[in-house]
Amino acid sequence: MKAALLDELQSARRDNIPVAVVTRIENGNQFLVYSDACSVADLTPAVLAEAREILRAARSAMINEGRLFVRSYVPAYRLFIIGAVHIAQALSTLALECGYEVCIIDPRRAFATRERFHNVELCDQWPDEAMAQLVPDAQTAVVTLAHDPKIDDPALIAALNSDAFYIGALGSRRTHAKRVERLTELGLGDKLQRINAPVGLNLGGRSHAEIAVAILAQLIQARYSS
């Protein structure tokens, strides 16, 4: 790989920008493809779209009838779980298995303990402070489970003002209606449709583990349909 291209690739990876290295099999020439840009101009729209689809799926593959090889470099997807509750225990375990980097955010230190949560990042700051430091981006999902507006609402406000690809909030329809009223008063009315509430696909489950499965299923659906 040429030095200039390598520098650009390393810069993109440092900045957590998804990028694909595309290699022409016939001559070894390489170039970069981003979700919204490309370093060469001679690709047909169809081939460029196919390369971007490979990048979006975080895969590597041959395209254009074997003429091009696409290798994707995609930052790890992150899941911020607000509220160190029982559902969070199940959800964090499932998310880790699916390759997500998980951070549990809960200022209640009695709940967010290493004994209850293994192999995940624990943050005992208030959600608004934590989110300001963690900076949710387009590779981030945010799920609020605390069932306490003092904890959940600041996280939702931060998420709604970010590029998070998925936002979910635990609670009944009545609980969410009250939540919408509070957040509308704060001027977020035009963004509230981004919140998936009640959170998770309607699979009919009731246990903590079943609810966690429903949440992760909806999150994965959002990731691959965006």
Q: Quote the CATH superfamily of domain 78-225.
A: NAD(P)-binding Rossmann-like Domain (3.40.50.720)
User: Other CB atoms closer than 10 Å to residue 14's CB: what's the count?
Assistant: 8
Summarised one tens digit per residue, pLDDT across range 50-102 is: 999 999 888 899 998 888 999 999 888 999 999 999 999 999 999 999 999 99
Residue 98 CA to residue 111 CA, distance in Å, equals 24
Summarised one tens digit per residue, pLDDT across range 142-168 is: 999 999 999 999 999 999 999 999 999
Report residue 40 as tokens: 């060469």
Report residue 190 as tokens: 């035009």
- CATH 3.40.50.720, the chain: domain bounds: 78-225
pLDDT at 196: 98
Give CA separation, 212 vs 30, 35, 165, 175, in Å.
42, 30, 18, 19
pLDDT at 86: 97
The distance of Cα 171 from the centroid of its chain, to the nearest Å, equals 21
Report residue 129 as tokens: 């402070």
Residue 91 half-sphere exposure, CB side, CA atoms within 13 Å? 34
Most confident of 15-29, 39-53, 211-225: 211-225
Residue 67 half-sphere exposure, CB side, CA atoms within 13 Å? 7
Q: Collect all residues with Cβ–Cβ distance below 8 Å to 64 and sequence separation of at least 6.
A: 47, 50
Please give the mean pLDDT across all residues of the chain.
Answer: 93
Query: For the residues 105-128, what does the mean pLDDT come to?
Result: 95
Cα angle, residue 93 at apex, residues 92 and 96 outer, rounded to 5°: 85
Give CA separation, 21 vs 11, 26, 42, 67, 212, in Å.
13, 15, 15, 14, 35
